[in-house]
Amino acid sequence: MNEERLRALLRETRAPGEAEAERRGLLLVNAAFEQRQARPGRLVLPRLAVALAIGTLLAALLLSPAGAAVRDWIDDVFTVGVQDAQPALTEVPGGGRLLVQSARGPWVVQPDGSRRLLGRYGEATWSPRGLFVGAAAGHTLSAIEPDGTVRWSLSADAPVADPRWSPSGVRIAYRAGRALRVVVGDGSGDTLLDRGVAAVPPVWSPAGHHLLAYVDAPQTLAIVNTDTGERVGVAGAPADLREFDWAGNGSWLLFATRRSLLLRPIAVDKLAGELDLGGGRRIRLPGGAAIESASFSPQGETIAVLLERRDGDRGPRSEVLLIDAAGERPRRLFSAPGHLSDLTWSPDGDSLLIGWPDVDQWVFIPAGGRDRIRAVSDISAAFAPGEPGLASFPRVEGWCCPAPR
Amino acid sequence: MGTENRLVREAQRDSQAALTELYSVHWRSAYRAAYLVVHDGTAAEDIAQDAFLAAIDALDRFDRRRPFGPWLHRIVVNRAIDWARREALRREVAEPASTPDPPPPPEAVGETMMAALAQLPVEQRATVVLRYLLDYTPGEIARMLDLPRGTVNSRLRRALDRLGDLLGEEQ
């Protein structure tokens, strides 16, 4: 091949997102340079020591889609968790209230970190404005105030699971054994919707209609108007579907299996009372990655994905990706050795809470990449007072709106 | 070279503006070189970032008589080669279900070129990038990659032949 032609072709070739990558890199480099200026005796410090010294650089490193080698330092230094973490849960970084499921039951965590155990319930979900918690215990579904007061309960003929409060606040969908049911928010009007559904949590339409999407026993995605009982949409669902989500703007459904993420556009024909489901689009993910969890941001503009993959002999490695709502432009937000859990958006969509059970921390990561990462240590003990040594890592059920006035 | 030497000297004296200028001068070539070797935008960004961080880390020890660019490019290309080798190994041992997706298509202008480059062994890709994107001589490449010069020449020759075949061009 002609050398000049090759030279010209190489110079014409553009790497993807050069300008954005340059901007991100400059932030990182400037942060590293500032820390270099600040550090004493810098002529003789080895690289690892530099990494240890630059606490604020950590945020820049982790918030950029920084890469293998850069993150390797972080792994070396921070396998015991995010440094400078709060030693105890004294506030919810970013505000809002958390609903946290421990072995003893669900807890409501206030913005100042104070928390209240609601009782011996196995699952819980926020109402849309955080005025109530829907909780399941055995065959019972209850609506509880955040101070633990039970407002009402109903009994089902099978174990209750996956309670989900509608965005309007006036319906709760739940599974009772293999059946799917819906009840009015005051505990009245308990109605059977489907006798045989898959063990996948149902999802409400964010648009305010009482449309509920669920997967029925033959693995069909069904969308039903819970006010009329009428099915308004049906489509095939992936056979090994683990969870799905409906974008906050109502225009996309996201399906997550262990190995793939699929987006389907969805449109509501209000006049015809029907839904139009478009063809699926597979989101490209790193090879070898298993999907632990995926969800839309509250505004529906971004998808967060928690992945895990084997990292050679070093065991599993987890990472959080942000992808735009069209399934494009993946950006690595956080990466850590071991398992991560509890992918949870803040109510305003500005940050994500990630559980890191291996180091007993919650990590609060700004989604925009500008502010620093914050972390809280000793999470297990916070939800098992009086049980030193017996605590298990709790599960985050939801991150809700500010406390009602 | 004189300007670069001055920028390094000023950066060593804590001038952030000088560092930013060095970064501006070299970022794109570093990122693009890494991308042409690894064919993965995120990995290329990682590699380029890491090279600059290594540069900052070594800034106080940096010999100003040496040019900055080649030193940076040497880090970039060697790390890109390491990354591509690791990735190839990972693909070999990965179970069928975890076969990596193909990299996202590059922007249209270089699509054919990228596809052809992807057919070359990573060592040839790196040599081609150093020679025809970054304009190093075979002797310089040999020193950067710690290879005999003859090996560099033969890699370039084989790469040119193969690219010619793939791109359907006459020799």
For the stretch B18-74, pLDDT in tens is 999 999 999 999 999 999 999 888 889 888 988 888 888 788 777 777 788 888 999
- Encode pLDDT of A201-222 as tens digits: 999 998 767 899 999 877 888 9
Q: Which residues pair with A107 in a beta bridge?
A: A100, A117
- Encode pLDDT of B97-118 as tens digits: 333 334 444 344 467 788 889 8
- Encode pLDDT of B126-143 as tens digits: 999 999 999 898 988 988
Top residue of B49, B120, B127 to mutate, by most chain A CBs within 10 Å, is B49
Q: Which residues pair with A30 in a beta bridge?
A: none
> What is the interface size between A and B, counted as CB pairs within 8 Å?
166
Top residue of B132, B155, B167 to mutate, by most chain A CBs within 10 Å, is B132
Contact criterion met (CB < 8 Å) for A24 and B98? no
Q: Give yes or no for a contact between A97 and A109, defined as CB atoms under 8 angstroms apart.
A: yes
The answer on pLDDT for A302 being more than 80 is yes
Q: Which of B119, B105, B107 is nearest to B161 (CA)?
A: B119
| H-assigned helices in chain B | 2-12, 16-38, 41-57, 68-93, 111-118, 122-128, 138-145, 149-167
Q: To the nearest whole angstrom, how far is the Cα of A15 from the nearest Cα of chain B?
A: 6
Q: How far apart are CA A10 and CA A4, in angstroms?
A: 10
Whole-prediction pTM: 0.58
Q: Give yes or no for a contact between B148 and B142, defined as CB atoms under 8 angstroms apart.
A: yes
- Cβ neighbours around A4 below 10 Å, total: 9
A299 or A273: which carries more pLDDT confidence? Answer: A299
pLDDT given for residue B68 in this prediction: 85
Contact criterion met (CB < 8 Å) for B60 and A43? yes
Average pLDDT, chain A: 82
Q: How far apart are CA A227 and CA A232, in angstroms?
A: 12
SS3 A125: strand
- Encode pLDDT of A264-289 as tens digits: 888 766 555 566 777 778 888 887 88
Chain A partners of B48 at a C-beta cutoff of 8 Å? 21, 25
Residue of B59, B107, B164 with shortest CB distance to A1: B164
Is some CB atom of chain B closer than 8 A to the CB atom of A42? yes
